[in-house]
Amino acid sequence: MLGFIWKWSLRFLGTLLALSLLFAVYGGIAYRDQPLRDSDAARNVSFLKTPHAEIAYRADGLKHDDTTPVILLHAMFFHMGMWDSWASELARNRPVYRFDVPGHGLSSLANNGDYSLRSTMSTLREFMDHQGIDRAILIGASMGGATLFNFAAEYPERVEKLVLVNSGGLEGHDKADSGGLPDGAYWVLRYLPDWSLHYFVDWLTADNRASDTFKTEFIHNFRNRDIRRGIIGRMQDFKSPETLSVLPQIQVPTLVMWGEKNPQLPVAQAERFRALIERGGSPVALRIYPGAGHLLPVEGVDTAMQDLLAFVDQEAGE
């Protein structure tokens, strides 16, 4: 009996090993590194060298140079392409800038390996300085929102209005300790199959509103080696400070936009953002979108676009 069990155990382990080796070979070919700068993704993209990295960015609507510009900052795992539909609408009436943070999209990895909140804020300030932008309307999603509300609190003179779209940064979320994430996690990301990445976007968008084109582009980007390294680095380094003391320091009109079915950041966090910012005396408009998830800019929520345009174009005191 023991001999029978031993024989079949060896067969099982041998089969498992063979399948693992076959998958490793398959993954090495099917999931090989995908270049991005030589692809269509780099069309109409400019590059700026900063002390932190070479930053890829897009600028639209520059003929409207008599109005306050908008700067859009994307969510973690994604890139400035997530703003395509919103950027085209905003650029009808004002300059619109968006860029990839180091280690995401078409930007390079961070020169010094620093993906912290402080470093990302410095990149934003340097970008504004280079473009000659004294004050801007800042719009950030998820990680981008966490960067921008901290920036608005520290540099109020550079911010005219603030829009937080399913923003990260509340204690208990972005402040969670992920610094122990091993560098070997890169290999886990490398071998994630396409279907799992497809499912990840569906999960984030609640009712699966993201287009197939967006999902395909997301997977293509994820197959780039530097992006996977940048994601790991940012997950290890990016922490928000004490939110309870930062949010009341915001002194500009703020719009908080939230998907009611957001699976990553519960909708109750939207009310916390409003309450904490209003504690400092700044006006806050809160909009909740039924059926929407974490990625409002790619989910085709028309009312969200209308609310955004109305807020951006609203004159002070209205």
- pLDDT digit string (tens) for 242-298? 788 899 999 999 999 999 999 989 999 999 999 999 999 999 999 999 999 999 999
- pLDDT digit string (tens) for 210-230? 899 999 999 888 888 888 889
Among the listed residues 78, 258, 265, the one whose alpha carbon sits nearest the alpha carbon of residue 171: 265
8 A C-beta contact, residue 93 and residue 61: yes
Checking if the pLDDT of 176 tops 50, the result is no
Q: What is the model's pLDDT at position 97?
A: 98
Checking if the pLDDT of 173 tops 50, the result is no
24-38, 105-119, 140-154, range with greatest mean pLDDT: 140-154
Q: Per-residue confidence at 117, pLDDT binned at 50, 70, 90? A: very high
Three-class DSSP category at 49: strand
**81-95, 106-120, 168-182, 293-307, range with the lowest pLDDT:** 168-182
* 15 token code pair: 């089969």
Q: What is the model's pLDDT at position 126?
A: 95
Cα dihedral across residues 203, 42, 74, 143: positive or negative:
positive
Q: What is the model's pLDDT at position 8?
A: 58
Q: What is the model's pLDDT at position 309?
A: 96
Cα dihedral across residues 111, 115, 117, 121: positive or negative:
positive
96, containing H or E segment: strand 96-99
- pLDDT digit string (tens) for 23-72? 555 555 555 556 666 666 667 899 999 988 999 999 999 999 889 999 99
Q: Per-residue confidence at 177, pLDDT binned at 50, 70, 90? A: very low
What are the start-end ranges of the H helices in 35-113?
84-90
